[in-house]
Chain A
Amino acid sequence: MPDATGLELIAQELGDAVLDTVFFRGRGTLNVEPTRIAAVLEHLRERGYSFMASLHGVDHYPEEPRLGVVYELLDMQRVDRITVKLRLHSAAPEIDSVTNAWPTADHQEREVYDMFGVVFGGHPDLRRILMPEDYEGHPQRRDFPVGGEPVIFTFNEGQSRGMPQ
């Protein structure tokens, strides 16, 4: 991890692209401006954080801006990690894709799109990856119903759809 001072140095280099820094339990986090994410990641790559370990989504419902995208970067020379976070308004959850610079982001951005409905502009193939393609809604959003259905046992056999009466 960069220590707290190192995190501030990185934030100073990035200027006003960084909204906030958090250093908590040895873990450095940059909260960044969503429109500048590609430039921020490129700068961090030059600093040595050249491996994107993960890209995932968060739903901060009922806060607004509600949807979060989290990028976990790893410096494999110094075994040093840094987290980059951004927040998107749920009315227009759109952000630039980083697939061109970070090929591993391809499937992970599709997963975030599938589960949270974040639209990654410029993604080469932004389709659902886990749910069926005709599925409606984004199931990992916190206001999405858990779903499931009443289990068919003998006592309620006739009441369920799709079963012989």
Chain B
Amino acid sequence: MEIKREPVNLRVRDLNSRQLLRGSEVLGPNPSSHLEGSDFERHVEESVLTTTLDKAVAWARSNSFFPATFGLACCAIEMMSIVAARVDVARFGFEAFRASPRQADLLILSGRVSIKMAPIVRRIYDQMLEPKWAISMGACCSSMGVFNNYALVPADKFMPIDVHVPGCPPRPEALMHGVLKLRKMVQEDPDMGWRERYDARGTEEVLPGA
């Protein structure tokens, strides 16, 4: 669809900037320095953007993921490199790896999860504050990959995963693509959070006595 833009009204801009410079009380008797009528309406149209609060919040969230500093295996090496200069995921507001799950809102499962490790991973996920998301990175924690044996458990069995990134290990570009997919999901379809998918409304953590 082609959007037809009107040419910028230079007179409105001119008057507006003059008004800002002088301050409203020193405008004085000269009526030409006031914005009136259609000029004023055009000025408002040009400078005000309307949206919903949900959309604005989703936009802010999706551009400021704080992943937990949490690596499991060889995929963690690739995960570390997405914050380095070549891929530089900081372009998307993603680089602030937090050392505490209380400050993080994204868990990247980077590697294989053994049966013994699964309760610990789940505990870290439970400690994160909502809204929270999880990326399952690599073959091992999605489908157990080459380690499909007695020792491992796929991540879907014990925690909700938003994005699976395939690969063994995935290249940093692949993980970045997964992050951008997640960003798109948060921006455009925020209700596909894990509580919706798993029908888990009403299970939010409540502190005792609260």
Contact = CB atoms under 8 A, between A and B. Distances in A.
Determine if chain A interacts with chain B. Answer: yes
Interface of A: 130-132, 135, 139, 144-149, 151-153, 162-164
Given A147-B149, A152-B143, A152-B156, A164 B116 contact: no
Nearest to B147: A148
B116 A132 contact: yes
B115 A146 contact: no
B142 to A, nearest CB: 8
Interface in B150-197: 150-152, 154, 156-157, 197
B107 interface: no
Contact of B150 (A146, A153, A162): A146
Interface of B: 115-116, 143-144, 148-152, 154, 156-157, 197-199
A164 to B, nearest CB: 6
Nearest to A135: B115
A164 B198 contact: yes
A162 B156 contact: yes
State the majority secondary structure of interface residues on A.
loop
Nearest to B148: A148
A148 B149 contact: yes
Given A131-B116, A153-B143, A164-B198, 8 more contacts: A130-B116, A145-B150, A146-B150, A149-B144, A151-B144, A151-B154, A152-B143, A163-B156
A149 B148 contact: yes
B122 to A, nearest CB: 13
A19 B199 CA distance: 65
A130 B114 CA distance: 10
7 contacts: A131-B116, A131-B151, A146-B149, A149-B154, A152-B156, A164-B197, A164-B199
Given A131-B116, A132-B115, A139 B151 contact: yes
B156 A147 contact: no
Contacts of A149: 144, 148, 154
Nearest to B150: A147
A131 B149 CA distance: 13
Contacts of A146: 149-150
B154 A152 contact: yes
Contacts of B143: 151-153
Nearest to A140: B150
B150 A148 contact: yes
A163 B115 CA distance: 18
Contacts of A153: 143
Contacts of A145: 150
B141 to A, nearest CB: 12
Contacts of B151: 130-131, 139, 147
Nearest to B198: A164
Contacts of B115: 131-132, 135
A55 B179 CA distance: 45
